[in-house]
């Protein structure tokens, strides 16, 4: 850790210790005691019951969830977080289903699903591309703070970009080392292609660079895809696609190039784009669309300080799940008890506790309970693009997506550990109860970019995403392994229900910890901040400076 970062952390901790000596903060901590297993279980049992039909986006189950959440917030005395007083932020989604896919590169015809998947980059109903130039652009990254630009001034208009997945991870001094940053996410690659005005973008899949097999890509991208409906559906970029490593090998060989050499060459900051010359691309497909309406639920608790009440802590949790799917042993409802009725329950109980201590909280609290997370983090994306308060006024985000429903743990796992000053607060409260905070055990999977806090971070808000620990108190490694197996087997299946292993004592302990962290954020002298050099620091500084 560099000296500047160490000094910044020390200064932040000193300021926090000073502010936390005030009586209001200690009184506000008492609200944590109101968070208990019985109330948390009530919310989970209700939202994960068969009556809610798996809480699928745009379904009757979603509306039932919205009605329940609004009722609970009103009963707590929490105010509406939207101007019309309804507690509801509606947003339209467009579903896209593509068909009749053909892709020819040079003299090689690709087989849909086996070799490639493709879809329109915008809301085009028909794609017909002929004789398009292909250019390999390495990772397709432009990162000024890393002194990295894979395009080197290339004009990409009318060209199809071929892109290596992930980001450079060979040095701890670049792009977070082995940790996958946003630059390494497939979504960044497609967004960058649009920003640059390319005709299309194709990502080369390998198990290593993706972190999952081709089956995940082919199954996910061959289904109906959802996005927030755009007011301007036009797009210069027409095609988005993935291809297998094996097909990429054929394409590069036809151009007289070695795919392995070029994948390796992408790690050099001096890499320059490579045209595939006379090997051109033809592609065609059709697409149909449908619009569905989704809804976020937003509550607000106003702070007591006349000046600071216009600054906020925002809590997020998604209430949607997978709805009704193909029956397995007669069960077709994906109840989503752990994912994410448990997280919604934690948010509601934190809001109840904050409301009980409202006079002791200087800043205000927003409870943002989003829909459409399971179809692409779209509820939080819509809020970030259409915020109910200016993101520059939000001190921090705590995202609750899945809770520890299997008992006490000694550890608290923090996705986003060491990226912003919230880490210091979590560590302080964990240490006060004899616990330890640990970073993401699998940073190469890029979990920081796979839940709703990511959309908060994209608009500059310092954010954390705590996930369940694995060091269970009084249990051996065999128990932990068994719980990991149960949780993994239930994830995104009809089996995500309350079962005999559930023990909400761990969820209560964690929720109380996050509540106290929230109290600190609400009563600190200053807004929370990203540490110097973080990929979201520049966005935050721009946001804050625009308010001056």
Q: What is the DSSP code string of 344-357? A: HHHHHHHHHHHHHT
DSSP code for 308: G
Three-class SS state of 164: strand
Split at pLDDT 50, 70, 90, the class of 4 is low
Average pLDDT in the chain: 93
Give the per-residue pLDDT at 11: 56
CB atoms within 10 A of CB 294: 24
Bond prior to 340 in cis (omega within 30° of 0) = yes
For 100, the enclosing helix (H) or strand (E) is strand 88-105
Q: What is the DSSP code string of 512-532? A: HHHHHHHHHHHHSSS---BPT
At residue 187, does pLDDT exceed 90?
Answer: yes
Which residues lie closer than 8 Å to 154 by C-beta, 6 or more apart?
135, 137, 273
Which candidate, 481, 497, 227, places its Cα nearest to that of 376? 227
At residue 135, does pLDDT exceed 70?
Answer: yes
Chain length of the chain: 548
Which candidate, 304, 310, 301, places its Cα nearest to that of 352? 301
| Paired tokens of 183 | 């630059």
Q: What is the spatial distance between Cα 385 and Cα 229, in angstroms, rounded to a whole number?
A: 12
At residue 432, does pLDDT exceed 80?
Answer: yes
* Mean pLDDT across 522-547: 93
At residue 5, does pLDDT exceed 90?
Answer: no
Split at pLDDT 50, 70, 90, the class of 546 is confident
Give the per-residue pLDDT at 170: 87
Give the per-residue pLDDT at 446: 87
Dihedrals phi, psi of 301, to nearest 5 degrees: -120, 120
At residue 3, does pLDDT exceed 80?
Answer: no
* Percent helix, strand and coil across the chain, each to the nearest 5: 40, 25, 35
Give the per-residue pLDDT at 10: 55
Give the per-residue pLDDT at 223: 86
CATH architecture classification, 3-77+302-546: 3-Layer(aba) Sandwich (3.40)
431 vs 15, more confident: 431
Least confident of 147-156, 193-202, 436-445: 436-445
* Mean pLDDT across 193-204: 97
Span 94-289: which CATH code? Answer: 3.50.30.30
Q: What is the spatial distance between Cα 403 and Cα 411, in angstroms, rounded to a whole number?
A: 13
Which candidate, 402, 403, 412, places its Cα nearest to that of 434? 412
| Paired tokens of 441 | 């055990």
Q: What is the spatial distance between Cα 367 and Cα 397, in angstroms, rounded to a whole number?
A: 10
* Mean pLDDT across 157-178: 92
| Paired tokens of 382 | 């819509």
**Share of residues in the chain with pLDDT > 90 (%):** 85
Which candidate, 136, 138, 180, places its Cα nearest to that of 267? 138
Give the per-residue pLDDT at 145: 85
Split at pLDDT 50, 70, 90, the class of 548 is low
| Paired tokens of 124 | 């085009």
Q: What is the spatial distance between Cα 507 and Cα 492, in angstroms, rounded to a whole number?
A: 20
Give the per-residue pLDDT at 17: 43
* Whole-number Cα distances in Å, 298 to 121, 245, 357: 31, 44, 19
* Mean pLDDT across 104-127: 96
Domain ranges of the chain: 3-77+302-546, 94-289
* Mean pLDDT across 34-49: 98
Segment 446-464, tens digit of pLDDT: 899 999 999 999 999 999 9
Q: What is the spatial distance between Cα 524 and Cα 518, in angstroms, rounded to a whole number?
A: 10
Q: What is the DSSP code string of 244-304? A: EHHHHHHHHHHTT--HHHHHHHTTSTT---EEEEEEEEEEEEEEEEEEEEEEEEEEEE--S
CB atoms within 10 A of CB 77: 13
Give the per-residue pLDDT at 6: 54
Split at pLDDT 50, 70, 90, the class of 19 is low
> Across the chain, which distance is largest between two alpha carbons, in Å?
75
3-state secondary structure 62-82: HHHHHHHHHHHHHHHCCEECC
Which candidate, 131, 200, 100, 115, places its Cα nearest to that of 160? 200
Q: What is the spatial distance between Cα 309 and Cα 417, in angstroms, rounded to a whole number?
A: 27
Split at pLDDT 50, 70, 90, the class of 216 is confident
At residue 120, does pLDDT exceed 50?
Answer: yes
Which residues lie closer than 8 Å to 16 by C-beta, 6 or more apart?
424, 425, 428, 520, 524
Segment 391-401, tens digit of pLDDT: 999 999 999 99
Give the per-residue pLDDT at 433: 94
Segment 480-514, tens digit of pLDDT: 999 999 998 899 999 999 999 999 999 999 999 99
* Whole-number Cα distances in Å, 430 to 17, 25, 404, 514: 15, 17, 15, 10
CB atoms within 10 A of CB 192: 22
Give the per-residue pLDDT at 14: 53
Give the per-residue pLDDT at 52: 98
At residue 7, does pLDDT exceed 70?
Answer: no
Give the per-residue pLDDT at 130: 97
Check the CA dihedral 423-425-428-430 and report its sign: negative
At residue 75, does pLDDT exceed 50?
Answer: yes
- What's the burial of 293, exposed, middle or buried (CB within 10 Å: 0-12/13-18/19+)? middle
18 vs 170, more confident: 170
CB atoms within 10 A of CB 302: 15
Give the per-residue pLDDT at 21: 46
Segment 344-387, tens digit of pLDDT: 999 999 999 999 999 999 999 999 999 999 999 999 999 999 99
Segment 318-340, tens digit of pLDDT: 999 999 988 989 999 999 999 99
Q: What is the spatial distance between Cα 152 and Cα 147, in angstroms, rounded to a whole number?
A: 12
Q: What is the spatial distance between Cα 235 and Cα 246, in angstroms, rounded to a whole number?
A: 30
Answer whether 0.95 is exceeded by the pTM.
no
Q: What is the spatial distance between Cα 32 and Cα 516, in angstroms, rounded to a whole number?
A: 7
């Amino acid at each position: 850790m560099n000296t500047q970062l160490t000094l910044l952390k020390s200064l932040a901790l000193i300021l926090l210790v000073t502010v936390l000596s005030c009586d209001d903060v200690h009184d506000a901590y008492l609200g944590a005691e109101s968070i208990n297993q019985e109330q948390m279980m009530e919310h989970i049992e209700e939202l994960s019951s068969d009556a809610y039909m798996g809480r699928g986006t745009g379904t009757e189950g979603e509306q039932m969830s919205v009605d329940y959440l609004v009722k609970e917030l009103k009963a707590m005395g929490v105010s509406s977080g939207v101007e019309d007083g309804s507690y509801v932020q509606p947003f339209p989604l467009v579903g896209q289903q593509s068909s009749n896919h053909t892709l020819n590169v040079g003299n090689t015809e690709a087989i849909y699903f086996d070799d490639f998947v493709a879809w329109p980059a915008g809301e085009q109903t028909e794609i017909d591309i002929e004789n398009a130039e292909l250019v390999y652009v390495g990772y397709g990254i432009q990162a000024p703070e890393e002194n990295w630009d894979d395009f080197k001034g290339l004009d990409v208009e009318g060209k199809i970009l071929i892109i290596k997945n992930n980001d450079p991870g060979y040095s701890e001094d670049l792009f977070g080392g082995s940790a996958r940053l946003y630059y390494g996410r497939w979504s960044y690659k497609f967004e960058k292609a649009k920003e640059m005005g390319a005709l299309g973008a194709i990502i080369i899949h390998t198990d290593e660079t993706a972190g999952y097999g081709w089956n995940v890509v082919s199954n996910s991208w061959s289904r109906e895809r959802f996005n927030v409906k755009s007011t301007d559906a036009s797009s210069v970029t027409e095609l988005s696609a993935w291809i297998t490593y094996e097909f990429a090998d054929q394409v590069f060989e036809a151009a007289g190039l070695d795919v392995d050499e070029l994948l390796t060459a992408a790690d050099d900051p001096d890499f320059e784009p490579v045209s595939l010359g006379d090997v051109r691309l033809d592609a065609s497909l059709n697409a149909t669309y449908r619009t569905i309406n989704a809804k976020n639920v937003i509550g607000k608790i106003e702070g007591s300080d006349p000046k600071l009440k216009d600054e906020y802590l925002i809590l997020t949790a998604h209430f949607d799940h997978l709805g009704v799917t193909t029956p397995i042993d007669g069960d077709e409802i994906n109840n989503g008890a752990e994912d994410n009725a448990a997280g919604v329950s934690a948010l509601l109980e934190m809001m109840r506790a904050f409301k009980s201590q409202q006079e002791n909280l200087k800043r205000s609290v927003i409870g943002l309970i989003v829909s459409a997370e399971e179809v692409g983090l779209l509820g939080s994306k819509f809020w970030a693009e259409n915020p109910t308060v200016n993101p520059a006024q939000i001190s921090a985000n705590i995202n609750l997506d899945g809770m520890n429903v299997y008992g006490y743990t000694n550890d608290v796992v923090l996705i986003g550990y060491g990226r912003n000053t919230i880490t210091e607060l979590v560590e302080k409260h964990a240490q006060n109860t004899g616990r330890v905070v640990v970073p993401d055990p699998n940073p190469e999977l890029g979990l920081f970019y796979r839940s709703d806090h990511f959309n908060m971070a994209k608009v500059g808000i310092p954010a954390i995403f705590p996930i369940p620990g694995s060091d269970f108190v009084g249990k051996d490694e065999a128990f932990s392994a068994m719980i990991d197996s149960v949780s993994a087997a239930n994830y995104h299946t009809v089996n995500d229900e309350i079962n005999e292993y559930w023990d909400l004592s761990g969820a209560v302990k964690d929720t109380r910890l996050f509540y106290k962290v929230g109290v600190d954020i609400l009563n600190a002298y200053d807004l929370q901040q990203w540490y110097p050099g973080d990929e979201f620091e520049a966005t935050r500084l721009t946001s804050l400076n625009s308010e001056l």
